[in-house]
Amino acid sequence: MSAAASNGVAAPLPLSLPANAQYYSIDVECVAVGYDHNARAVAQISLVNQYEKAVLNLYVLPSVPVVSYLTPLTGLTREVLGRNGIPFQAAIQILKQHLPASAILVGQNIFQDAAWLGLKDGEDFAQLMDLTGLFRIWNEKYKSYSVFSQDHLAKVLLGWEVSADGGGHDAVGDAVKSIRLFNLYQSTHKHEERWAEVCERLLSVEPGPSFAKKNPTFEGVCMGNRKQCQCGAPFFG
């Protein structure tokens, strides 16, 4: 039995990365184009490389009317999109020109970001690495696994200042956080003492409430909090 297991710490997930792998983070911010929690349209796309360099920061003009820019959460406004926005398909074309098909994409709930953008496994990228799964930690107190928001991971492990209300996100900043967290995972997951310290730190700090928890609705838009949903739309995943 490993030292980590004997201390009640579940072993981290192993990484299987090819030699000389190139990895990137993609982050998407969405605006509301309806009042249920699934009515969203892509409005910002960022691409950041493994060295934390922003490769792309694209603003997208939704093809349907926007009912809320969700500004406290996304940082987006009508003026920003009106001044800088381009059509969705044009943005996707630019993104694919800068994203190698051999790239490994990392991020918080990266599967959803790839789905928003219509990116195909084996064609537009080689592999997805979801930080939610990588930093999933066994919680002995509750006899179950705990998962954490990107804000909690960044605050506790990186010392990254996060908004007290769970908002204030930006696609580029969130993508940089993802790369930095992934690099941290790579440097700690093979070392039992370092990984045990990561687990202890994450579990010892009470996570702050998300924007959706503090704001079940914003400007009439359901924010998709499962316990406080008011729109009745289905949840996927």
**Amino acid, res. 204:** S
CB 226 within 8 A of CB 234: no
pTM for this predicted structure? 0.90
In three-state secondary structure terms, 198 is: helix
Summarize pLDDT for 87-128 with one digit per residue, the tens: 999 999 999 999 999 999 999 999 999 999 999 999 999 999
CA distance 103 to 6: 36
Residues across the chain = 237
What's the pLDDT score for residue 4? 47
Position 237 scores a pLDDT of: 64
pLDDT tier for residue 168 given thresholds of 50, 70 and 90? low
Q: Domain ranges in the chain? A: 20-222
Amino acid at the residue 118: G
What CATH topology corresponds to 20-222? Nucleotidyltransferase; domain 5 (3.30.420)
Instruction: Give the mean pLDDT of 23-38.
Output: 97
pLDDT at 210 > cutoff 80: yes
pLDDT at 9: 58
Encoded tokens for 228: 């406080």
Q: In degrees, to the nearest 5, what angle opens at C-alpha 182 toward C-alphas 181 and 186?
A: 115
